[in-house]
Structure formats: C-alpha cells, structure tokens
Structure 1
Amino acid sequence: MAAGEPALSERLIEPMLLRLRAGFLKSRSMPLFYFHVYDGMLVAPDDEGLELANIEAARDEAVRGARSILSDEILKGCIDLSGRIEIAGEDGTILLALPFRDAFEIKE
C-alpha cells in the first residue's frame, strides 16, 4: 500500500456505507405522486414525483399547479381551460384528473 492510500478495508467499506445511506435516504413513509400536465396533448410528464401525505394533499398540489399555469395564461391574455393535471401513483395508475376549470371559481 502506498503512503496516503486508504487501507483495503476502507476502500471496501466506504462504498458499502454510501450504498446503505443512499438506500436509507430513499426509504420514505409518504407515497410518491406524479403530476402529468396535459394541454390538449401531453405537455409535461412528471418523471420525478413528489412525496405527499395522501391523495388530498396531491390534489391540493395539482390545484396550485393549475392555478400557476392559468395565471401565466391570464398575463398573456388567453386562457385555455381544456388542460388538466393527472395525478398518478407510484405504479403509474392515474388516481385523479383535475381539469383546469376545477382549479378556480369565477364570481361576477
């Protein structure tokens, strides 16, 4: 072993510890939800997902996302209500579809 080079045990154990830590960090107690945004056609599939407590929290997140999209459209002067956000579970099953028009209320 050259001077300054880690011992064999250190070179073998350190990668194993990193893998264990990574696995520990990936373990989670909350479900993962994916938010796919459609605007007539698939615009933005969600490949990362978001950990949330339940489907109600996921719906709240979808409402915020739809409102954000619509607020950008309002600034441009044209609102397209044909879009939706689909919430999928970890296995890819669509759990809920939120049409953009369900994300707000119009009062006159």
Structure 2
Amino acid sequence: MRRTFPAVPVYYFTLHDDIVFTDDEGRELPDAAAALAEAIKAVRELICEQVTEGRINLSYRIEVEDEEQRPVLTLPFRSVVTIKG
C-alpha cells in the first residue's frame, strides 16, 4: 500500500522597499500562520540591517502570496516593531 502525503503549500515573499525584490522560489510552509511568522522574522532582520547603516524606513513592506499567486498577507515594517523614547 502506497502512502500519500498532503502537499505542503508554497508561499512567495515579495519585498517592497526602494525597489521590488520578487521571490521566484518560494518556501514550503505548513500554513499562512507559518508564512506570517517567516515574514515577521525577515522584516525584523531587515530592520536590523538598516540600523547598522544608520537608518530605518518603516514604510517598506513584505507581501506574501500563495502558489496560485493569491495575496495571503501584507506586512508593513512598522507593524513588527515598537519604538519608544
């Protein structure tokens, strides 16, 4: 008897900053919640890079689409950090 496993969804992450970086490979993730967690992690890493360059631009965003090119979420940089002071 051959076992079949459900297909793992693929999500594509497009970065919108000074230019648009399109994800042509995508990532296999179990669901949209996992895609959101990946996007949050990526945005925070990108903000850290910006800090080392002495700037932060919170108007940037990452858009996530599924394998059918349907929008799953839009994550503005400003939504993943809290700035105090």
Q: TM-score, normalised by structure 1?
A: 0.69
More helix by share: 1
Q: Pick from 11, 23, 31 the counterpart of residue 9 of structure 2.
A: 31
Query: Please, which runs of 5 or more residues in structure 2 have no aligned partner?
Result: none
Q: Spell out, residue by residue over 1:1-39, the C-alpha distance to the aligned partner (whole angstroms, 9 max, x if none).
A: xxxxxxxxxxxxxxxxxxxxxxxxxx8621000000001
- Greater RCO, 1 or 2 (C-alpha within 8 Å, sep 6+): 2
Q: TM-score, normalised by structure 2?
A: 0.86
Q: Pick from 28, 39, 44 the counterpart of residue 51 of structure 1.
A: 28
Q: Secondary structure at the match of 2:46?
A: helix
Percent of residue pairs bearing the same amino acid type: 37
Structure 1 residue 58: Cα displacement: 0.2
| Equivalent residues in 2 for 1:40-79, closer than 5 Å | 40-42=18-20, 44-79=21-56
Match of 2:75 in 1: 98
Q: How many residues are matched?
A: 81
More strand by share: 2
Query: Please, which runs of 5 or more residues in structure 1 have no aligned partner?
Result: 1-26
Let me know the Cα RMSD of the aligned residues. Answer: 1.5
Q: Which residue identity lines up with residue 31 of structure 1 in the other structure?
A: P
Distance 1:93 1:41 in 2: 21
Distance 2:49 2:39 in 1: 16
